[in-house]
Amino acid sequence: MSVSLLFAYIVAVVVLIATPGPIVALVINAATRHGFKYALITVLGANLASMVLLASAGLIIAGVIALDEQTLKWVSLIGCSFIAWMALNGLRAGLTSQEEVGSEQETPVRQHSGFFNGFFLGISNPKDIIFFVAFFPQFISVTPNLKLSLAVLTLVWMLADFVILLSYALMMRGNFFQQHQGKIALLSSAFLLLIAISGALYILIGG
């Protein structure tokens, strides 16, 4: 195993995952609006979606499956619509009274939907598969065996994905973030809406 190549991959993965994006915004929004337990469930959903996308990318690299560009476009548009729906719900909830937010936080349905939100947001951007297909080959020689290399790269990504997203959720438990959780929730919802709009425009105009 090439230790130097593996280290370079780990650094690249940490930077990529830690950079704020839709999943990070979703986890922060979940933690500020519904608490750590809900955010943890959301992280698990997003982590499972990453595993599915990584497995798909591995199958493409191995030549087992092929991509359908038109299908990717429509699924991406559905994903943008879902992100926009979650963002608008977050903005609406952030503008309601604390009593209403508190009552939502205690409903058991919310804790189940956290996993769905995390999974669907992660899986609804199949263009991530294209990224993985382009990204993995740069580190595929981390071991002499293709399947073993894909397994190692996938495992490292999954662990980094879980730890970093969980760290964001834990960070929201700090005093500063607790004092400003309302503003943080609104900002993360607004960021999600911006991602949804820009993503849809890119797909329709530039995609």
pLDDT of residue 104: 45
Q: What range does the domain containing 141 cover?
A: 3-206
Structure confidence at residue 45 (pLDDT) = 92
**Matching residue, tokens 């009593």:** 99
**What pLDDT is stored for residue 117 in this prediction?**
85
The pair of three-digit structure tokens given for residue 39, joined into one six-digit string: 């955010």
The C-alpha atoms of residue 143 and residue 3 are separated, in whole angstroms, by 9
SS (H, E, C) 153-200: HHHHHHHHHHHHHHHHHHHCCCHHHHHCHHHHHHHHHHHHHHHHHHHH
CA distance 157 to 26: 19
Q: Any idea what DSSP says for residue 143?
A: S
Q: Say what the pLDDT of residue 102 is.
A: 47
Rg over alpha carbons for the chain, rounded to the nearest Å, is 18
> What pLDDT is attached to residue 150?
85
pLDDT recorded at residue 68? 63
Q: What is the pLDDT of residue 181?
A: 57
Euclidean distance between CA atoms 194 and 190, whole angstroms: 6
Domain count, the chain: 1
Give the pLDDT confidence score for residue 107 in this predicted structure: 41
> What backbone phi and psi angles, to 5 degrees, belong to 96?
-85, 175
Digitized pLDDT (tens) for each residue of the chain, 207 residues in all: 788 888 888 888 887 787 777 788 888 888 888 888 888 999 999 999 988 888 888 887 776 655 566 666 676 677 677 667 767 776 776 666 444 444 444 444 444 588 888 898 888 766 667 677 777 777 888 888 888 888 888 899 999 989 988 988 888 776 666 565 566 667 767 776 776 787 677 667 765
Per-residue pLDDT at 163: 92
